[in-house]
Structure formats: C-alpha cells, structure tokens
C-alpha cells in the first residue's frame, strides 16, 4: 500500500507534472501546464458528484498534491487516473501508467486473488518496471536520479503476497486511523506522555472505545 501509494504513484505524478526535471529541462512525458490545470479542475468538479465522505480525495491535484495521503492517491489513481490522463500523455507513457493501474485494481480489492490473477498482476508489474527503465530512466548516467529502488521494489509485490497473503490483511489503514486518535488523549500540556499512557490504559481496561 505505502510503497505504491506514497512512493511510486506520487513519483509518477511528479514526473508527469514536471516536478522532477533532468538538467533543468522538460522532457516528453511532462504534461503541458494547460493540461495539468485542466486535470486539477476536473477533479474539483467531480467532488460534487460523490458522497461528502469521499470528496476529500478529489482535491485539486495540480495545486495540492503535496498534501495527498496514501488513500487520496489510491482513490485518484484507481478511479480517475485513466480518464484524466487519456489523450494527454504520449501513448507509451500512458501504457506504462495503465500497466501499474491494472495491477493495483486487483491488488487492492477486498478479497483474495486466484493464482492466475496473481500471475496477471506480476506480468503487469514487470511491464511497468520494464517500461519505466526504458522510457524514463533510459539507462543514461545523467538520469540516474530517476533510478529509484522503490520502482524496482514493485517486482517483490507478488512474491510477498504469495508468502503473506492478500494485501488488505496487513495494510496500514487501521493503524493510521488509530494513530489519528492519539492526539485527543494528550489532554495535559505539562505531561502529555503520562496523560496519553493513562488514557490508553483506561481504554484497554474496559472503557467502551473503538479505534475503527
């Protein structure tokens, strides 16, 4: 979850939006400013069409992508990425993007995968990896800053799933939500750690409190 939606996907957006430049020059995968602005406005307009609880995921990615969390990237990437990038990215880069998206749509659904589906995910991830190093890194020393270990790490995804089970079993959303409750327990400014420790002890001692 965090490998893909806090590392790989945000890095792709930085590439496509021109946040990562080589020798200070733009390259062919960088979206035009007019397209980046239009994508941001399309996401904002889409907010009115979905439940309020989900609307936060559709903030203007052009101006607010730095504040996106993993779940924001997941919703934007899986639900809207194809629509907003189609006909805006050159075809080889769009196919690279779609290979990763196809894999993630299977990886992050709330049920297990068959052996054939895992094989398909592995093939898509290998296609993404190969395309990235052919089209983006290009084997050039001047572009070595793009040669990031997080891109290669996607190849370990399927072997890890075969060893540990579906990703929803051990993804970090429940723990993130729990951590988000802790600040409310620190009610003492002079002894915040002691106050939080006592509150947690009281909670697990039988108080009716739910983290998720």
What is the mean predicted confidence (pLDDT) over 161-188?
72
- What pLDDT score does 205 carry? 64
pTM for the whole structure: 0.74
Indicate the domain borders of the chain.
2-169, 173-204
Eight-state DSSP code of residue 65: G
Residue 109 in this model has a pLDDT that exceeds 90:
no
Once rounded to an integer, what is the mean pLDDT over residues 19-30? Answer: 76
CB 100 within 8 Å of CB 124 = yes
The chain-wide mean pLDDT, for the chain, equals 82
Q: Please give the pLDDT value at position 25.
A: 63
| pLDDT one-digit tens code per residue, 169-180 | 666 666 666 666
What is the Rg, in whole angstroms, of the alpha carbon atoms belonging to the chain? 20
pLDDT for residue 125: 96
Given pLDDT bands bounded at 50, 70 and 90, which one contains residue 209?
A: very low
Q: Residue 119: is its pLDDT beyond 90? A: yes
- 46-94 pLDDT, tens digit each: 777 776 666 666 778 888 888 888 778 888 888 788 888 999 999 999 9
Asked if residue 79 lies in contact with residue 42, where contact means CB atoms within 8 angstroms, the answer is no
Check if the beta carbon of residue 73 is closer than 8 Å to that of residue 65.
Answer: no
């Amino acid at each position: 979850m965090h490998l893909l939606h806090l590392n790989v996907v945000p890095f792709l957006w930085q590439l496509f939006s021109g946040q990562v430049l080589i020798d200070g020059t733009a390259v062919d995968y960088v979206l035009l400013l007019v397209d980046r602005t239009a994508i941001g406005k399309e996401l904002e307009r889409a907010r009115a069409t979905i439940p309020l609880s989900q609307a936060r995921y559709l903030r203007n990615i052009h101006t607010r992508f730095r504040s996106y969390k993993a779940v924001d990237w997941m919703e934007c990437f899986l639900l809207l990425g194809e629509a907003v990038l189609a006909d805006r990215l050159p075809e080889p880069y769009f196919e690279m993007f779609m290979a990763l998206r196809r894999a993630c749509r299977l990886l992050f659904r709330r049920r297990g995968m068959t052996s054939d589906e895992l094989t398909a995910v592995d093939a898509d991830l290998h296609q993404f990896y190969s395309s990235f190093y052919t089209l983006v890194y290009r084997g050039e020393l001047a572009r070595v800053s793009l040669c990031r270990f997080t891109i290669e790490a996607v190849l370990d995804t399927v072997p890890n799933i075969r060893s540990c089970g579906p990703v929803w079993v051990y993804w970090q959303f429940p723990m993130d939500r729990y951590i988000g409750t802790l600040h409310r327990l620190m009610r003492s400014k002079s002894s915040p750690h002691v106050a939080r420790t006592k509150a947690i002890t009281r909670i697990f001692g039988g108080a009716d409190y739910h983290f998720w």
